[in-house]
Structure 1
């Protein structure tokens, strides 16, 4: 077990006083005084509306924050200013470069005897184009992938898969694959354009956008998502006979753009070079104002760190908050951070990301190895009054933390109730009024308790650099 500098000092002091010694190799534990302070921090956070006020500021003053847009730059400036306003000790940015995708206009309509408009949105990464063609419906992705090459020549493929609602968001896997793999399957079958029922669980006339990909060697086709009621309408029309749709998209890639990961720190009192990392992503899709995805994550982690910074004395380690750039189009901010800090994995005690809305947190676990399980249990006990269950062995790192976790970063899972998350996700309905301030305060309390205790632990949570596979020449 790696013993941090502050723990070494504690060992020497304890030995001098004749008490028990924390020797190298002993289990990671959290001191009792820190647990008592965490209980006070928990109640203070529950009574605070700081997290909500930060989200209100971001969604009101910046609004939608599509990666690479003019609002992206304003969001970065907002985050830098907000960290400073909140009194963070150190604030800086790190560049993140990525391809720039733009949405300009989009429309779809049934043409012919039953002519009518359809509520539609282009998928991120779609090219521009106008296609008027007969629609062929498929009940799911597997059916489209089984279509014979050329069988959809000159037609529009329509995948009518209905995503399942789940507290843990597990229905998003199959729904998301319809968006990410469907267009390429349609191209292989010869389709001229692609439509899908939105990857969402609502019944509102609000289509869900999101990034899609085109397999290498394929020529991209216009690709879009229908709002759920419009997918139902199109399916009913198809049951009556052939249907022709005119899909017109003006969108596409336009060079590259450099945004920033925005980082703020509350410096630790004894081991400031070791960090507990929390955060969310700063960008959003352009249809709503990005309140639940992921203004909430940015706001609640900023607030949690601010509240920790008010504690005297501060925890031993530094609390680092990251507002990640361009998560939505490919985890660009998370990948850039992992690459830039690859040599410092072991300096990151543990990390947690909030990117699943603003619902109440109901479960907690970590990737901690056996020697840190006792500390994990201590944190879980401190979280229990918030209605959070300890579920060892469950969960995983947040999306932007995934690339760094693959390099050996220890992670914590604070599971939010996502029962309604995909009613709003990537839609025009992702706005501030959908956030329950009391639920957000519970999130702030949970992140504050977790980060404070992790930063106060005597011992580590298992972050250690892993050998990475070498690229083949």
Structure 2
């Protein structure tokens, strides 16, 4: 190797050190921005904008199953609401997905002890033949037990998997329950089952209100009839099966795929004054399941994000970066809106300063986690100090995932937070007819708005970035 003269070597080292220092310069939030964020936080705690928004959505639109009668009405509502709140840029981005429709469902035990069952069809379930499907039930106590079963014991029967969920503040049992709901029908279908039942993925042990949700089917030719029993009805079926006699159930599900549907993500922006092309992304999903009015899942998330943006918009000066609020399409049946957004904006991931979605109800946020570059951890700690007084603790050992839909953008490399609400009773109501406005406490919702407004503003004003870049967080193991 040819040696450089000493002076040139020194200059080269100085230049290299300067580049490294610039790249590793700590991201800091100016004190003026911290003070403004504290003011935003305190004002939001006594503001009812978020509650008024979710009240409007659940009253004027109601249930919003993707592709259903209220899908377009919900999008029209969102566009109008963004404009009413003063967002200066409002637009839509199309999202196309399979159209699945629910018309009616009914079930009953026909032998040995005839009686009706309270159940609800699952998303992407096939319908039963005209006149219904009657078959013997075979029970499994876990998804693993089903996987290990002899296919001959399942073929032509209705597979029933019963797994009990318990209440937890972070809702971690849902991973088990949703795993049965999503994967169970697919496994049963491949083994030749005629149909599939599960104990609802919910924690309301004493309510005859079944919980719907999506299955893992994506192609109509692979689907079989699949439904969830309410927890008391699952208990009843367990008792009947315990007699040791053959148990036959009749399913009559008028549901199924009906082509495709093109909806849209609805987006509102408060344009940044210094870096308008750099965005802080927040949001919720606009669709809901059809039994209730989608208040906690996820009208609350849409309202929290809309209200947080409105509070920042009302400041005397615009934020330095753009606040982008996204009302995502069809999260419930497979993150279709989130995946479409990530595909469309993947090339711009480096311009996404920081992001997260609210999709875990409306109880108080109690924990923040983050996935950012090492030199931005100090800025996250600044955010943590501002939201700590309203009950949010920063867990530095856990990654952030961005929430349900924005997890897709995080997967592309967007720096992300997770802001975890108290989910102790969330799965009592999740995906049921009881997901209604009365489950939301306006004061608790206001705390969510306060946290979202404070963190979004601080991220928008930061001196430096949080590390968003293609593939930046591929190995952080983030999950929500």
TM-score surpassing 0.5?
yes
CA contact (8 A) 1:184 1:215 kept: no
1:92 aligns to 2:91 (yes or no)? yes
Check conservation: 1:151, 1:190, Cα contact below 8 A: no
Is residue 184 from structure 1 mapped to residue 189 from structure 2 by the alignment? Answer: no
Q: Which residue of 2 aligns with 1:171?
A: 173
TM-superposed CA distance for 1:115, in Å, is 1.4
- Between the two proteins, the alignment pairs up a number of residues equal to 448
Q: d(CA) in 2 for partners of 1:124 and 1:216?
A: 12
Task: Give the equivalent residue in structure 1 for 2:310.
Answer: 306
Conserved? CA contact 1:160–1:231, under 8 Å: yes
Say if 2:297 and 2:430, in contact at 8 Å, map to a contact too.
yes
Deviations 1:283-335 (A, max 9, x none): 00111110000000000110000001111222211101000000111111111
Distance change in 2, residues 1:443/1:182 (3 Å): same
* Residue number among 391, 405, 425 corresponding to 1:400 in the alignment: 405
- For residues 410 and 218 of structure 2, what CA distance do their matches in structure 1 show? 26
Task: Determine the structure 1 residue equivalent to 2:13.
Answer: none
Do the aligned residues in 2 keep the contact of 1:110 with 1:246 (CA within 8 Å)?
yes
- Specify the SS of the correspondent of 1:151: helix
Deviation track 1:235-286 (CA, whole Å, cap 9, x = no partner) reads 0111123221111100000011110100001111211111101000000011
CA offset digits 1:110-130 (Å, max 9, x no partner): 114521110000010001102
- 1:215 is displaced (CA, Å) by 8.1
Distance 1:218 1:127 in 2: 9
SS in 2 for 1:400: coil
Contact 2:366–2:393 under 8 Å retained in 1: yes
- The 5-angstrom pairing of residues 253-292 of structure 1 reads 253-292=257-296
When structure 1 is superposed on structure 2, of 335-344 and 451-460 the one drifting more is: 335-344
Deviations along 1:24-67, one digit per CA (max 9) or x if unpaired, are 64200011111111111111100001000000000111101010
Distance 2:415 2:472 in 1: 15
**Structure 1 Cα separation of the partners of residues 145 and 369 of structure 2:** 38
> Which runs of structure 2 are paired with 1:462-473 in the superposition (5 Å)?
462-466=467-471
> Match for residue 121 of structure 2?
122
Indicate whether 1:414 and 2:414 are aligned.
no
CA contact (8 A) 1:108 1:120 kept: yes
Conserved? CA contact 2:40–2:453, under 8 Å: yes
Note if 1:361 corresponds to 2:365: yes
* DSSP-derived class of the 2:446 partner: helix
Matched, 1:296 2:300: yes
Q: Distance in 1 between matches of 2:429 and 2:220?
A: 34
The answer as to whether partners of 1:206 and 1:427 remain within 8 angstroms in 2 is yes
When structure 1 is superposed on structure 2, of 129-138 and 304-313 the one drifting more is 129-138
2:434 aligned to 429, 450, 458, which one?
Answer: 429
The residue aligned with 1:148 is 150
Match for residue 372 of structure 1? Answer: 376
Paired residues of 2:124 and 2:218 also in contact (CA < 8 A): no
Q: Secondary structure at the match of 1:194?
A: strand
Which aligned pairs between 1:105-116 and structure 2 lie closer than 5 A?
Answer: 105-116=104-115
The whole-number CA distance in structure 1 between the counterparts of 2:336 and 2:191 is 31
Partner of 1:227: 230
1:162 corresponds, among 161, 164, 174, to: 164
Unaligned runs of 5+ in 1: 1-21
Normalised TM-score (structure 1): 0.92
**Aligned position for 1:45:** 44
Q: 1:236 corresponds to which residue?
A: 239
Matches of 1:267 and 1:447, distance apart in 2 = 17
Q: 1:433-448, aligned counterparts within 5 Å?
A: 433-448=438-453
The answer to whether the Cα contact below 8 Å between 1:151 and 1:189 also exists between their aligned partners in 2 is no
| Distance (Å, rounded) in 2 between the aligned partners of 1:62 and 1:215 | 28
Give per-residue Cα distances to partners, 1:360-417, cap 9 Å, x unaligned: 1001121111110110000000001111101113242211112211111110111111
The structure-2 alpha-carbon separation of the partners of 1:231 and 1:279, relative to structure 1 and needing over 3 Å to count, comes to same
**Which one of the candidate residues 198, 201, 208 is aligned to 2:200?**
198
- Going from structure 1 to structure 2, the CA distance change for 1:28 and 1:238 (only over 3 Å counts) comes to same
The answer to whether the 8 A contact 1:94-1:261 is kept is yes
- The correspondence for 1:383, drawn from 387, 390, 393, is 387
Matched position secondary structure for 1:33: helix
2:327 matched to 1:323?
A: yes
Partners of 2:57 and 2:69 lie apart in 1 by 15
1:197–1:372 distance in 2 versus 1, CA, 3 Å: same
Measured on the aligned residues, the alpha-carbon RMSD in Å equals: 1.7
Other-structure match for 2:213: 210
Alignment of 1:241-256 (within 5 A): 241-256=245-260
- Larger mean CA deviation between 410-419 and 396-405 belongs to 396-405
**Which stretch of the first structure deviates more once superposed, 360-369 or 76-85?**
360-369
